[in-house]
Amino acid sequence: MSSTVAPVVDGKLDLGTTATAETKSNALDKNAFLQLLVAQMKYQDPLEPTSNTEYISQLATFSQLEEMQNLTANNELQRASSLVGKEVTVKITSESGNVTYDTGKVNYVVYENGKALLGINGEEYSLDDVDTVVDSEYLEAYSMASAVVTAVSKLPSVANLSISNKAAVLSIKEVYESMNEYQKSFISKEDQKLIEEYFAKMEKLIKNAEASEETEGSSDSTSGESGQNNTGSGE
């Protein structure tokens, strides 16, 4: 441990210059403050000693500072703990300045060196890195709506829709009809109308295909019966 925490200039402690790792830290802890106070008392000018009132004032000021630091730390821990189980997006800035984002559920919180760290997707991020807190219901609705709209955009136009698109359209329909009103609200009214047009067009195509199959089956059956009758007549 260092015996001197700040240099002495002209018999007085120079608090404007730091000399140890403790005074270089962002937060002055109790031990560092006490060392400063002892050093100040030790190297004070005996002809002009610091008054007891001033020491008491310094102690009171430090006590207030320490209380504020503890309150800030507790508030940070409470904020971090309230995010456990929630979906959040954290902003990651690399050393080169590139910015990326990671979204996931906060699984746990650890508190190290006065900082709250959030466990997300197997990584630990500072609470300061949190960019967005997302409600899980909101995220699910947004994801489903985005998936439906994206799938619809890959289909040909309604006019060019054919029976070959049956599997894709029915897959979209299954997801769309499973969505509640809140989830569907993430799809614009125009897109909802377009989706319904796709469903209606595919329903007609399926009916036409089924009717065509029935007609072909009936024709085959009639042809078979005619052939049998002709054979019988020949006999």
Helix orientation angle between 30-42 and 52-81, rounded to the nearest 10 degrees? 170
Q: What is the pLDDT of residue 66?
A: 67
CA 52 to chain centre: 54
Could you say which residues of the chain have pLDDT below 50? 1-6, 11-13, 15, 17-26
Nearest to 55 by CA among 33, 70, 29, 24: 33
| pTM summary value | 0.50
Angle at 26 between CA 117 and CA 51, to 5 degrees: 140
- What residue spans of the chain are helical by DSSP H? 21-24, 30-42, 52-81, 136-153, 166-178, 181-184, 189-234
Q: What is the pLDDT of residue 89?
A: 87
Q: What is the pLDDT of residue 221?
A: 59
